Amino acid sequence: MEKMIISAALTGAWPTKQHNPNIPMTPEEIAEDAYRCWNAGASVVHLHMRDEYGAGTMDKERFSQTTSLIREKCNLILNLTTSGELGASDERRYEHLIEIKPELASYDCGSMNWMHIGVFLNTPQFLEKLGQVMIENDIKPEIECFDTGMVYNALYYIQKGYILKPPYFQLCLGAPGGTVAEIENLVFMKNLLPKNAKWSAFGIGSTHMPILYTTIALGGHVRVGMEDNIYYSKGVLAESNAQLVERAARAGREFGREIATPNEARKILGLEQKETNGVI
């Protein structure tokens, strides 16, 4: 099996320090947390921003400040979200990509009833425009799929040329309104992917560990972090995102999977042209 990429989703748009006081919220906290995850074995960080009140924001200045701080510290692959602020316009959801030009960005491949409280809206028009923006700015989409319909949507946009080959999928299991995080569902979704696809997966909350272990066994890459799971074990809050990265790295090594460095991850994902100097 190829080396395993560990992505760390540090913050998300929902959990706050009231849920877990160790969640990073400010640009400085997020950048320091990213550096610790890099030291622990992560090669990718998935970034959301929070405003001064702790709510999710697409403020491109906060993205710019945070990514600059991370780039000063290490050579992590930066994966910027394109969602997380309620009511954000289509343009606001991707304007930070044009300015920062990260190597990866999320491409949520369909709409869904999010958490049974609202609609996570990703219209066909938005997805077409987002695909064009990513192609024009040399950004690889991380195709986030919360149910099987989103996989089929992705295949359509690949065929139409809005997503370039080879694709990179993130299978997101366990979000209320999406596919339940069960091993059978993970295997089913994984088997729908194109043969040349790279893929990663995670389970939300208490489903984190079964999906983590199954993904490792199936040869996929993994995502961990307090965006998806604020606990280390039942009733025990995670001390840091790095703690979750360290456990994923141990699990991978125990299975015989070496852990990819950022530059090795760039080669796996086809980002060699953006390989950076620094610790390899």
Residue 164 lies in a domain: yes
- Cα–Cα distance, 126 to 110 (Å, whole number): 10
Parts of the chain with a pLDDT under 50 = 277-280
* Residue 234 included in any domain: yes
Which pLDDT value is given to residue 6?
Answer: 99
| Tens of pLDDT, residues 207-221 | 999 999 999 999 999
Task: Give pTM, 2 decimals.
Answer: 0.96
| Structural domain span for residue 247 | 6-274
pLDDT at 81: 98
77: in domain: yes
Does residue 67 sit in helix, strand or coil? helix
User: 232 lies in a domain?
Assistant: yes
Residue-wise pLDDT for 120-173, tens only, equals 999 999 999 999 999 999 999 999 999 999 999 999 999 999 999 999 999 999
Is residue 15 one of the residues assigned to a domain? Answer: yes
| CATH at residue 94 | 3.20.20.70
Residue 153 within any structural domain of the chain: yes
Task: Report the pLDDT value the prediction gives residue 152, as an integer from 0 to 100.
Answer: 98
By CB atoms closer than 10 A (0-12, 13-18, 19+), residue 15 is: middle
Residue 36 corresponds to which amino acid? R
Give the per-residue pLDDT at 278. 44
> Domain tally for the chain?
1
State the pLDDT at residue 1.
86
Distance of alpha carbon 86 from alpha carbon 250, whole angstroms: 37
Predicted pLDDT of residue 274? 55
Q: How far apart are CA 259 and CA 227, in angstroms?
A: 22
Asked if residue 224 belongs to a domain, the reply is: yes
User: Residue 61: CB partners within 8 Å, gap ≥ 6?
Assistant: none
Q: What would you report as the CA-atom Rg of the chain, rounded to the nearest whole angstrom?
A: 17
Give the pairing type, strands 44-47 and 56-57.
unpaired
Residue 280 domain-assigned (yes or no): no
